[in-house]
Amino acid sequence: MGKTYNLFVKQKGTTTALKQPKELSYYSRTTNEEFLVGNDANLNYYYLPDAELDNRLDLSAGVAKMRDTAKEFKDPGTLRGLLATVQSVEEKKQKRTKADIITFRGVIRRLISAAFDSPKFNKVDLRVVAFDGQIFIRDVASKDEELRMTTESRNAWYTGYKFETVATLSQPLPYVDRETVEKRPKKLVNTGDEYITVVRTGVGNSKLILGAEVDCIFDFKEEGKDNLKHYAELKCSAMVSTQADARKFEKKIFKTWLQCFLVGIPRIIYGFRDDNCILKTVEEFAADEVPIILKSNNPAMSTACLDAIKWYGTLVEWLLNTIPRDDVANIKPYKLVYENNHLRLTEMDEIDEEYDAIVNGEAVITNDFKQWRTSLPQ
């Protein structure tokens, strides 16, 4: 077995300096597992006037007929679309994009959440490789949560997708006929179509490129420009009626803030459902106001957002200091897991059953991307 390195998850540094996220490009992932680089075919637009709430929208409707096509993806955690988009950006500029780490927002969210959640609720099982002076990370535990779902939690999971379906349109409102708008409550949920923004961001002195699924455009899209300020995160939650409900919701919105903050999405829109899954109210939050809300309402979470930023800086710095990146021609693979309050990074040996697929195959980095980077002057 190769060398093992550990980082205690309660360890927090002092780094709070953040780089302003910038959108580099985007792509769409289809239900057929195609990656459409620079294509916004799966981008949705928010439209849910207050009058719609009078129609008693049932967020459990159609659960038996939903199309969970994402569940059928052969490789749900693949970096293929993200790397193809990074390559497209680099081909236009004919130079490598400056970054220390390339991965998905969900991967970084899992690593940050390791300091706040039990391993039971936050499975970290990642594959990490050093290549061409950069670190690439992919998730192999993407679907584990679904396997552990109870009927109740699955229904709640479904209402989130249903809320997105009834609250968005596939085109801006002026291009959509009235019948399409009015039939949204009967539209079947499909989990497979995704729109992913590719963002350059950073913490401390570290630079990251993150791919992140975007729920919708809140207002309008600016063609050929950075649209981060126009994106919104959609979520669904049970109504908040008691102090206990409030505490549960504060934990939820903290996780939602984390998702948004990592890539610079400014708006969070929550739909609140009653016990019968009827949509009762919709509330919008500014992502940068969430730390203030938590500090004002819950002393136990008053520093949660600041602690998350400090831990973010610490874990990224640890990865960069631990993993050698000077051998630009070869791939060095690692496994990264969360066990016993530690992140554990282990070098993979050649006898590991995954070694060949990672180093010589396309389990993490695609052959197209390897060839592209090899063709660039160092």
The string of pLDDT tens digits covering residues 144-170 is 455 456 666 788 899 999 999 999 999
Residue given tokens 């959609």 in the structure block: 234
pLDDT of residue 144: 47
pLDDT of residue 289: 97
Of 110-124, 192-206, 266-280, 336-350, where does mean pLDDT reach its minimum?
110-124
pLDDT of residue 351: 94
- Nearest CA among 167, 164, 169, 212 for reference residue 190: 164
pLDDT of residue 268: 98
pLDDT of residue 117: 84
Total count of domains within the chain: 1
Assess whether pLDDT exceeds 90 at residue 30. Answer: yes
Mean pLDDT of the chain: 93
Residue given tokens 């679309």 in the structure block: 81
β-pairing, 216-217 with 101-104? unpaired
The mean pLDDT of 291-305, rounded to a whole number, is 94
CA distance 6 to 19: 27
Residue 270 belongs to some domain of the structure: no
Residue 135 belongs to some domain of the structure: yes
The mean pLDDT of 189-206, rounded to a whole number, is 95
pLDDT of residue 150: 67
Percentage of the chain modeled with pLDDT above 70: 96
Assess whether pLDDT exceeds 60 at residue 142. Answer: no
Number of residues in the chain: 378
pLDDT, tens only, 44-85: 999 999 999 999 999 999 999 998 888 888 889 999 999 999
3-state secondary structure the chain: CCCEEEEECCCCCCCCCEEEEEEEEEEEECCCCCEEECCCCCCCEECCCHHHHHHCCECCCCHHHCECHHHHCCCCCCCHHHHHHHHHHHHHHCCCCCCCEEEEHHHHHHHHHCCCCCCCCCCCEEEEEEECCEEEEEECCCCHHHHCCCHHHHHHHHHHHHHHHHHEECCCHHHCCHHHHHCHHHCCCECCCEEEEEEEEEECCEEEEEEEECCEECCCCCCCCCCHHHEEEEEEEECCCCHHHHHHHHHHHHHHHHHHHHHCCCEEEEEEECCCCEEEEEEEEEHHHHHHHHHHHCHHHCCHHHHHHHHHHHHHHHHHHHCCCCCCCCCEEEEEEEECCEEEEEECCCCCCCHHHHHCCCCCCCHHHHHHHHHCCC
Of 72-76, 140-144, 182-186, where does mean pLDDT reach its minimum?
140-144
pTM over the 0.85 mark: yes
pLDDT, tens only, 95-104: 999 999 999 9
Residue 82 belongs to some domain of the structure: yes
Residue 331 belongs to some domain of the structure: yes
Assess whether pLDDT exceeds 60 at residue 137. Answer: yes
The mean pLDDT of 219-245, rounded to a whole number, is 96
pLDDT of residue 149: 63
Strand partners, 282: 271
The mean pLDDT of 24-39, rounded to a whole number, is 96
Residue 158 belongs to some domain of the structure: no
Assess whether pLDDT exceeds 50 at residue 370. Answer: yes
pLDDT of residue 118: 77
Query: Which domain does 28 fall in, by range?
Result: 4-149+169-226+305-375
Residue 371 belongs to some domain of the structure: yes
Assess whether pLDDT exceeds 80 at residue 128. Answer: yes
Residue 261 belongs to some domain of the structure: no
Residue 252 belongs to some domain of the structure: no
Joined tokens for residue 211: 């791919």
The mean pLDDT of 335-361, rounded to a whole number, is 95
Between 314 and 16, the more confident residue is 314
